[in-house]
Structure 1
Amino acid sequence: MLSLPFFLSTTVDDVLPWNWPLFGMLPTLLCHVHQIHDWATRLLCQAGGTFLFKGPFFANMNMLVTVDPSNVHYIMNSNFLNFPKGPQFLKIFDVFGNTFINSDSDMWRNQRKLAQLQLSHPRFHRLLVKTTQDKVEKGFIKVLEHVSKQGLVVDLQDLFQRLTFDTTYILVTGYDPDCLSIDLPHVPFAKAMDDVTEAIFIRNIVPESVWKFRRWVSIGHEKKLRNARKTLDHIIEKYISMKRDELIKVIKLNDEEEEGVDLLTLYLNEEEIKNDDKFLRDTVLNFMIAGRDTTSSALTWFLWLVSTHPDIEEKIRAELKSNIPTKEANKWRLFGIKEVSKLVYLHGALCEALRLYPPVPFQHKKPLKPDTLPSGH
């Protein structure tokens, strides 16, 4: 029995998983679940970029995994309409409801159009600039200064998550949870989001019958997910109610006002959806998930890469200095959109960090009709 985990993790060429009778390649996957990204990368390198994963015979888990650029372009661009997320995706991610993360086809296009309309609103942009500057200057830097003075060790990834959680929370709801402060407080909404993402990850790697049974008897990650969902629903419902009460005092939203405005306020000013609490709940949660984890992951990997490549750091610093007026060289400042567009080297470094360590490394797609990928699969 002691040798069983080692035996199960042994693979052809030390990488390709063994296709076991009845259980397929699932045992090997479970043995590497703690390092799923590294293992998947090695596996796909060994397989030439595309690999057919065989699941248990009873679980409908067979899937073609690919990182081949031509295949990715074909699926995500050239023949996009034939590759929706599919019904299995909706089952796994059911907690997110029916807005843009889970939607397909016409519904996805309509959701995207509505979201882009709100995100491009001039008053939302004013809130974005002010919130970002305030949270970095009065939150992130303040915490780092405290840590430095006290000689403490801090988890930078946790700080980035707190930074993006606070900024996203304000931009979406208009309220500040103050997660990024010196005492690094526990925030129920943030903890609930962590429990949701962890449970969804587990759903992706075990048979549907397993996680549905756990949900039925309310054990393990499914119990955490159920409790987390209650927490999220309660808090979001409270903010929707509070925001409605605030808007009763406002006759009409004025685009020319200097004060910024949050996304929930903008959505509540849309006649077609302002009374749809389910849609508003799903939208708030979707924006929170999309805004927090993706940005914090990108920032963490980017700074880690820069810290391990001093030559790149020097070039980025030189480019920043060359775009700052001499009289402002020693002042705190936030780069404007036009100024940022001139930072070509920084943009390239960020894109390379995203390529190496994408914040959303997996995409679920299910073809509507039989198809052949450019790789021949």
Structure 2
Amino acid sequence: MELSLLLLISSILLLSFFYRTFLFFKRAPLLKPTKSTVLEGYPIIGNLPLFIKNRRRILDWVAELIPTSPTGTVTVAPIVFTANPSNVEHLARTNFDNYPKADDVVATLHDFFGRGILIANGEEWRFQRKAASFEFNTKSLRAFVLDKVRHETVHRLIPLLKRAGRSGEVLDLQDVLERFAFDNICSLVFGEDPKCLSRESEEGEKFYHVFHEASELIVQRAMRPFSLIWKLGKWLDIGSEKRLRKSLEIVHGFVDKFIRSRREQIRGGGDFLSRFAADGTRSDEFIRDILISFVLAGRDTTPTALTWFFWVLSSKPEVVEKIREEIKSIRSRHGNYDSEVLTLDQLREMGYLHAAVSESLRLYPPVPLLLRKSKGEDELPDGTRVGKGWTVMYSPYAMGRAEGIWGQDCGEFRPERWMEDEVFQPTSPFRYTVFHAGPRMCLGKDMAYIQMKAVAASILEAFEVEVVEKRGKYQLSMTMRMEGGLPVRIQERSI
């Protein structure tokens, strides 16, 4: 998951202002076409008025800017927005070392993530990436993940939905999915089940809420226009910084307790903590930083993606019917009508469901903007110049709506675009950037699909899901959550 977006939104105004303060030039037309498009600003203040005007709608603004450029790149110095797959490949792979995570981003988020993989650079990042890559590619981990998803689905999610269906209760499906995901990621990372979906554990509830509070407070810190503001607040230990300190003390206390317990037990297991703790050369603090990054990466992205998926399907009954037909066909071939969940092999056979999830992610990516800081001057493949210290961003949100990439029907939800002869056909990660690309490509991609498909298939097969209030606006936090949640009414189906 990419966290740099949080800091970008607050600092983008200052970047433009301070850069343009040193550039005095004549007023020029708003759009000046070159190889890419350049937005020329005004003397002294540069493009500051544009940033102020669009600060609350940056995703839509970028998506509107991209089509104005013949190359899919727009320069608003010292920021470059691009939706050009060749440029993305250059940033994410070809010239990867020139575009690390920005130092100011790392400094802002360090108190929460420490030296974790989400904000690490250089050799520290490579070490964690190598270790994590080995773990993510083991068959035992995939089996462990599916086992946890099955248990949570059968024993908590389905019973909860059945109760809601019988009582007529309106559920916030986004909240349900977030609790489901937190239970699963904690089981995967720590080997501990907080039981948040069933609300059976006071300690689990406390961990769930304090982790959420800490993440929201770190977002607030990142949104400060000047880093001096939060640094002063931290030094004085007042306001939101005091609350953040207390929240982090509790979060770190929980994780440290898990680590100590596992060290003392010296037992093996399928969870990450067991795997990392087995190596006695790593400090408890370093393991804590790694594990917190994993929890955050898995806590928000999957439930955000599923929330938008069910919202889209609420207006696409024909897609729902095709998914149900696929489930029925696969069950028929395998003869497991009585099983409440599908096996890993059956989930992999579900090409149309995979296409529908991918199509939803194309239009509503959990992480809609990704940014990097240029260490040195550079030139992108489309001829765009990048200055030293500039911010370069590519937007999965804008790229998913780019006609040059997806065709004239790019704004339509059409899973069939992913299918050829009834088989799912993947595309280049440099044009479909939902899971990032290059060396930083999401390690949990396959596991995310397993979880999303397992949950989606279980719900769609057994229930009708009716969205009862108008929704569709996004809210930028750690991910692109749905503003106001997703209130639904559930009804059991006769299968």
State TM-score, norm by structure 2: 0.62
After superposition, residues 30-109 of structure 1 pair within 5 angstroms as: 35-45=57-67, 49-53=72-76, 62-94=78-110, 95-109=112-126
Q: Distance in 1 between matches of 2:322 and 2:152?
A: 26
Change (3 A) 1:44 1:198: farther
Bigger mean CA offset, 214-223 vs 20-29: 20-29
Cα 1:47/1:218, change in 2 over 3 Å: farther
The correspondence for 1:245, drawn from 256, 264, 267, is 264
Contact 2:331 / 2:337 at 8 angstroms: preserved in 1?
Answer: no
> SS of 2:80's equivalent?
strand
Question: Would the alpha carbon gap of residues 270 and 30 (structure 1) be closer, same or farther in structure 2, given more than 3 Å must change?
Answer: farther
The aligned counterpart of 1:261 is 270
Aligned 8 A contact 2:101 2:372 in 1: yes
SS in 2 for 1:161: helix
Question: Which of structures 1 and 2 has the larger relative contact order (alpha carbons within 8 angstroms, sep 6+)?
Answer: 2
> Is the 2:214–2:247 Cα contact (8 Å) retained in structure 1?
yes
> Conserved in 2, the CA contact under 8 Å of 1:18 and 1:28?
no
- Give the C-alpha shift of residue 284 in structure 1: 1.4
Q: Which residue of 1 aligns with 2:389?
A: none
CA contact (8 A) 1:52 1:65 kept: yes
TM superposition shift of 1:163: 0.4
Q: Which residue of 1 aligns with 2:349?
A: 342
Structure 1, unpaired ranges of 5+: 1-11, 55-61, 254-259
Q: Offset of 1:35 from its aligned partner?
A: 4.7
2:246 corresponds to which of 199, 222, 227: 227
Q: Deviations over 1:298-348 (max 9, x none)?
A: 111122222222222222222222211268464234333333332222222
1:178 paired residue number: 195
Q: CA deviation at 1:195?
A: 3.0
Alpha-carbon distance in structure 1 between the residues aligned to 2:85 and 2:219: 25
Matched, 1:195 2:217: no
- Return closer, same or farther for 1:40/1:212 CA change in 2, 3 Å cut-off: farther
Q: Is the 8 A contact 1:84 1:365 kept in 2?
A: yes
Cα displacement (A) at 1:192:
2.9
Q: Which TM-score applies when normalising by structure 1?
A: 0.80
Deviation at 1:366, TM superposition (A): 1.3
* Structure 1 residue 17, shift from structure 2 partner: 10
Q: How many residues align?
A: 345
Tell whether 2:309 aligns with 1:293: no
Matches within 5 A, 1:128-167: 128-167=145-184
**Residue 367 (structure 2) aligned to one of 360, 363, 367:** 360
Structure 1 residue 244: Cα displacement: 1.8
Tell me, in whole angstroms, the C-alpha distance in 1 between the residues paired with 2:180 and 2:115: 27
2:96 counterpart letter in structure 1: F
Corresponding position of 2:464: none
Aligned to 2:488: none
For 1:25 and 1:140, the matched residues in 2 are separated by: 49
Distance 1:34 1:326, change over 3 A: same
Distance (Å, rounded) in 2 between the aligned partners of 1:319 and 1:343:
7
Q: Which has the higher helix share?
A: 1
Which segment drifts farther, 234-243 or 342-351? Answer: 342-351
Aligned partner of residue 369 in structure 2, secondary structure: coil
Letter of the 1:155 partner, please give it: D
Contact 1:119/1:263 (<8 A) preserved = no
- Structure 2: distance between partners of 1:188 and 1:26: 42
Deviation at 1:27, TM superposition (A): 7.0
Deviation readout 1:122-146 (Å, 9 max, x if unpaired): 5434432221101111111122122
1:220 Cα deviation (Å)? 4.8
The residue type paired with residue 205 of structure 2 is V
2:136 is matched with: 119
Q: Say which structure is richer in strand.
A: 2
Once the 2 structures are TM-superposed, how far is the Cα of residue 46 of structure 1 from its aligned partner? 5.5
Matched-pair contact (CA < 8 Å) for 1:133–1:334: yes
Deviation at 1:114, TM superposition (A): 0.7
CA distance in structure 2 between the partners assigned to 1:232 and 1:168 by the alignment: 15
Q: Deviations over 1:260-296 (max 9, x none)?
A: 52110111112322xx011111011011001111111
Q: CA deviation at 1:352?
A: 1.7
CA distance in structure 2 between the partners assigned to 1:236 and 1:24 by the alignment: 46
How far did residue 43 of structure 1 move? 4.7
Query: In structure 1, what is the equivalent of residue 377 of structure 2?
Result: 370
Larger deviation, residues 131-140 vs 305-314: 305-314
For the aligned residues, what is the CA RMSD? Answer: 3.1
Structure 2 gaps, min length 5:
1-29, 32-37, 385-495
1:79, 1:336 → 2: CA distance?
41
Given the superposition, is the C-alpha separation of residues 269 and 180 from structure 1 closer, same or farther in structure 2, using an over 3 Å criterion? same
